[in-house]
């Protein structure tokens, strides 16, 4: 189970929202479940992450380069969501909600 | 402002909060709303197939909830129009020209899915004025199943814009010639069917659909 570098703290959470709450510009009275990834990723560090951390600390990297550390992100997305808006037009949104999370 | 009860909206909300219903709903809305060329609004074949899947896979509580939701009699927009839009009629229902109903029936009979589902509909929604339920086979659930089974065939029915519950496939009885009576009879089995109307109303009102089932012999 689990995606790349699955961190113990990084988990899938969900909240019940109105479609309008998404802030994507849709006006609809319909509702949905939004799932997202959240939590720390410290325990799932690879050698790559450790090296980057050491290099940054020891100022061995070019001064303006600050590569990102592992992040808790979706590794798979939920099924598409369709809804009818207040003007009776259908919309379908893709990759809007997480299904699996991982430290990547 | 008075918040008006909208059962069709509530059913849509409930669907998107259920993973199965949400998945199969977007699985038909997507093909039914995707334009494939300048000439065609959608791929009707794919839309019909996905609609059949929706009614096959989604529990009736959710699929019927959207299809047979009840609307106040004076409502012509918010609720009734949403109910009419359930099957995405611009793709699944409407055609450039409205064929004659007997022609449509003949074309249905050339397809085995359509032929068997139309036969089921005629058996299970047969009206009977002397019965309390309005149906010959006093089983609303079987009538609703047979009706919803037609969705995704060339006989796909939809609600008409009418104050009372009236449904029809996309056809009429103009140009019927000598078969005018037969055509009217066929069309009225949809538009003026007391058994089907009572079954839809009983579901919408939350009346137990099992209550009309004949008692099993002792």
Reference B153, options B186, B110, B195, B194; nearest CA is B110
pLDDT above 90 covers what percent of chain A? 59
- Which residues of chain B make contact with A83, given a CB cutoff of 8 A? 12, 16
Q: B49 — contact with chain A (CB < 8 Å)?
A: no
- Whether A32 sits inside 8 A of B16 (CB atoms) is yes
Q: What is residue B212's predicted lDDT score, i.e. its pLDDT?
A: 44
H/E segment holding residue B15: helix B7-16
Average pLDDT over residues A75-90: 96
Q: What is residue B3's predicted lDDT score, i.e. its pLDDT?
A: 55
- Which residues of chain A make contact with B6, given a CB cutoff of 8 A? 29
Return the structure tokens found at B63.
Answer: 């699929």
- Whether B17 sits inside 8 A of A82 (CB atoms) is no
Q: How many CB atoms lie within 10 A of CB B218?
A: 3
pLDDT in tens, B125-147: 999 999 989 999 989 999 999 99
- Nearest Cα residue in chain B from A89: B85
DSSP state string for A33-98? EEEEEES--GGG--HHHHHHHHHHHTT-S-TT--PPPP-EEEEEEPPPEEEE-TTS-EEEE-S-SE
- Cα–Cα distance measured from residue B158 to residue B156, given in angstroms and rounded to the nearest whole number: 7
pLDDT digits (tens), chain B, 218 positions = 455 678 999 999 999 999 999 999 999 999 999 999 988 899 999 999 999 999 999 999 999 999 999 998 776 678 999 999 999 999 999 999 999 999 999 999 999 999 999 999 999 999 999 998 999 998 999 999 999 999 999 999 999 998 889 999 999 999 999 999 999 999 999 999 999 999 999 999 887 544 444 444 54
- Whether A92 sits inside 8 A of B33 (CB atoms) is yes
Distance from CA of A41 to the nearest CA of B (A): 28
Distance from CA of B158 to the nearest CA of A (A): 16
pLDDT in tens, A93-102: 999 999 999 9
- Whether B13 sits inside 8 A of A90 (CB atoms) is no
Q: What is residue A46's predicted lDDT score, i.e. its pLDDT?
A: 85
- Whether B88 sits inside 8 A of A90 (CB atoms) is yes
- Which residues of chain B make contact with A30, given a CB cutoff of 8 A? 9, 12-13, 16
Distance from CA of A94 to the nearest CA of B (A): 10
Average pLDDT, whole number, for chain A? 88
ipTM above 0.90, yes or no: no
Tokens 């008006």 map to which residue?
B4
Angle between the B7-16 and B19-33 helix axes, to the nearest 10 degrees? 110
- Whether B16 sits inside 8 A of A33 (CB atoms) is yes
Which residues numbered 50-89 in B keep a CB inside 8 Å of some CB on A? 81-82, 85, 88
Q: Does the pLDDT at position A2 exceed 60? A: no
- Cα–Cα distance measured from residue A89 to residue A80, given in angstroms and rounded to the nearest whole number: 16
List the end-to-end C-alpha distance of chain A, in Å, as a whole number. Answer: 15
Which residues numbered 17-46 in B keep a CB inside 8 Å of some CB on A? 17, 19, 22-23, 25-27, 29-30, 32-33
Closest CB to A82: pick one of B9, B29, B81: B29
A53 pLDDT tier (thresholds 50, 70, 90): confident
pTM for the full predicted model: 0.88
Q: What is residue B213's predicted lDDT score, i.e. its pLDDT?
A: 46
**Mutation for testing the A interface, residue in B13, B66, B159 having most A CBs under 10 Å:** B13
pLDDT in tens, B74-111: 766 789 999 999 999 999 999 999 999 999 999 999 99
How many residue contacts between A and B have a Cβ separation below 8 Å? 48
Q: Are B212 and B133 in contact (CB under 8 A)?
A: yes
**Mutation for testing the B interface, residue in A82, A83, A85 having most B CBs under 10 Å:** A82
């Amino acid at each position: 189970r689990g995606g790349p570098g699955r961190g113990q703290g990084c988990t899938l959470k969900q909240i019940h929202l109105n479609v309008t709450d998404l802030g994507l510009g849709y006006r609809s009275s319909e509702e949905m479940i939004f799932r997202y990834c959240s939590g720390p990723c410290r325990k799932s560090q690879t050698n790559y992450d450790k090296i980057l951390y050491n290099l940054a600390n020891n100022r061995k990297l070019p001064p303006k380069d600050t590569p990102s550390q592992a992040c808790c992100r979706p590794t798979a997305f939920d099924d598409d969501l369709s809804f009818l808006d207040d003007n009776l037009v259908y919309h379908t949104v893709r990759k809007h909600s997480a299904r699996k999370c991982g430290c990547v | 402002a008075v918040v008006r009860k909208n059962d069709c909206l509530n059913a849509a909300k409930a669907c998107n909060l259920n993973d199965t219903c949400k998945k199969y709903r977007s699985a038909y809305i997507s093909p039914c709303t995707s334009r494939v060329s300048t000439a065609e609004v959608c791929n009707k074949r794919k839309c019909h197939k996905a609609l059949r899947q929706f009614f096959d896979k989604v529990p009736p509580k959710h699929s019927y909830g959207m299809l047979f939701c009840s609307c106040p009699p004076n409502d012509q927009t918010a609720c009734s129009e949403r109910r009419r839009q359930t099957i995405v009629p611009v793709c699944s229902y409407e055609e450039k020209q409205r064929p004659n109903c007997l022609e449509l029936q003949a074309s249905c009979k050339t397809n085995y899915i359509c032929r068997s589902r139309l036969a089921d509909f005629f058996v299970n929604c047969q009206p009977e004025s002397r019965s309390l339920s309005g149906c010959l086979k006093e089983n609303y659930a079987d009538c609703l199943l047979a009706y919803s089974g037609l969705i995704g065939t060339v006989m796909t029915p939809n609600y008409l814009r009418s104050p009372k519950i009236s449904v029809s496939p996309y056809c009429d009885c103009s140009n019927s010639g000598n078969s005018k009576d037969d055509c009217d009879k066929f069309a009225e089995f949809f538009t003026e069917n007391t058994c089907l109307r009572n079954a839809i109303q009983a579901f919408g009102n939350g009346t137990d659909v099992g209550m009309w089932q004949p008692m099993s012999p002792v």
